[in-house]
Structure 1
């Protein structure tokens, strides 16, 4: 059996994700041989510029995708919230394991909730989606930009006169971070990024051998939820340049998709919901996008 080369970023969270995919593969195929290939992306190299300024989605994935297209690796493991909703030609999303926590959290030294933060509190986040929803809920907050890996972000919280930072709950759970005071933000108040909490395995479209391997670790409901969210995003905007969120949840055979579009200053926001049969996931995502357009919400996406 050939060695399966798996491409990943080198951050602590990215390595956890790659190890998790390896574990799932080895559980299905005990004799499989895998090799991790760490690839530095544009987003890893430039940790000073805001994500919206350096191109949004794709900055954490494009270099890895190029390695996949160039046959340097056999599969790529991504945080799905980083993967552009419009798939790169020649590649496909082959598997999505069961999703982890999708919520955002407020981390603070004193264990504040969003509602009891002091007036004019300084909160850091690198996401304009989070910024928009935070300012809509708490217009008094002073929002500052935040980049870097998890360790860097926590260092900035405790050493740069910040009252709190916003991060994905999945990162805290997966890395088993201890002694951190955080409050979970509900997915109603803070609609997550499309794909947040989910891991995607990407392969070449013509690689049938690898496809037969990874399809065994796919989680159907998670894939459908992600498909619905990504259809919403793709219909509206394929990057991180605008405040957009989407979160789908399947119960039984029904899928509910909540979407969000807002202005960066949080003064104007639209939150809408659609539901239907889970097997119609992609169509539901497109329909919700059309619903937003009917309300004129897409005008917020023009710059």
Structure 2
């Protein structure tokens, strides 16, 4: 059987798990038998710069685009037909010729508190070592507990859990969605509140990226979850207005319920000493994605203006 759709993916265990989920979903949409999946909808593993460099924060080496750059180059060159990304890793503006064609239904968007010794974030003792590579999680943790010692933690999920088990940290923060998809729910001691730890824009969602000319394919439409796509559009609108990157501590989360979309977005000083937040809602209808993005852009601009020069990293 000839290749029908080639999937570009990072090589990490989580990326392969997520891409395997999408491989099976694409196969079902195309009517491919499970026995033929590996040949008809193959996974093409691509090592990204973000995966190769593990000893520094992403903001020091070029930002989160380093997790998507090589895969996007393979898409543009025609070596793969679709890329599966974690939405929170996708930069605000795609390269020319590429688009986010589908957004599958979202997993849990919350952050997870993981610890060998402590049952919850509030149980951490004074001066506890908290591991994270996320500037957002650092700022949110310090806003609640300025006494904590934040230590840099990068690597795949297995590596981070191993470092915790070896005693390098008292606790670490991870995305609940990744732990759920890997079957690691049991390590979660607490799912942190969306109010205290407003997630990264798009957290818990996947992005299926294609070339512009392939965005209308039937299998693409079959994988899109309209409510998730709408919520993510709002969050990414806020991210665009806030110049969201690994150099800024920002959060955004949208929820669609009872015919309305409600978005909350914020920016924080990296040391947690200041926090600027706005929320708003719109009725769902018409060109919902465009309206959701416009709401995100508006609220993000309001936060940006409120923060002013104080938002600059120390």
Contact 1:261 1:297 in 2 (8 A): no
Instruction: Report the counterpart of residue 270 of structure 1 in structure 2.
Output: 276
After TM superposition, where is structure 1 displaced by more than 3 Å over at least 4 residues in a row?
296-299
1:243 aligns with 2:244: no
Worse-superposed segment, 35-44 or 288-297: 288-297
Cα distance in 1 between the residues matched to 2:309 and 2:96: 26
Contact 1:122 1:142 in 2 (8 A): yes
How large is the Cα RMSD of the aligned pairs? 1.6
1:213 aligns with 2:249: no
Cα distance in 1 between the residues matched to 2:188 and 2:244: 34
Q: TM-score scaled by structure 2?
A: 0.92
Q: Which runs of 5+ in 2 are unaligned?
A: none
Instruction: Report the counterpart of residue 162 of structure 2 in structure 1.
Output: 155
- Size of the alignment, in residue pairs? 302
Shift of 1:99: 0.3
Bigger proportion of residues as helix? 2
SS at match of 2:178: helix
Shift of 1:287: 1.0
Q: 2:68 aligns with which of 61, 64, 86?
A: 61
Contact 1:292 1:298 in 2 (8 A): no
Cα distance in 1 between the residues matched to 2:23 and 2:129: 40
Q: 2:198 aligns with which of 184, 191, 214?
A: 191
Instruction: Report the counterpart of residue 295 of structure 1 in structure 2.
Output: 306
Contact 2:84 2:209 in 1 (8 A): yes
SS at match of 1:283: helix
Instruction: Report the counterpart of residue 137 of structure 2 in structure 1.
Output: 130
Cα distance in 2 between the residues matched to 1:293 and 1:168: 25
Cα distance in 1 between the residues matched to 2:117 and 2:81: 45
1:29 aligns with 2:35: no
Q: TM-score scaled by structure 1?
A: 0.95
SS at match of 2:177: helix
The 5 Å alignment of 1:83-162 reads: 83-162=90-169
Contact 1:9 1:41 in 2 (8 A): yes
SS at match of 2:19: helix
The 5 Å alignment of 1:35-50 reads: 35-50=42-57
Shift of 1:111: 3.9
Worse-superposed segment, 99-108 or 238-247: 238-247
SS at match of 1:287: helix
Contact 1:86 1:238 in 2 (8 A): no
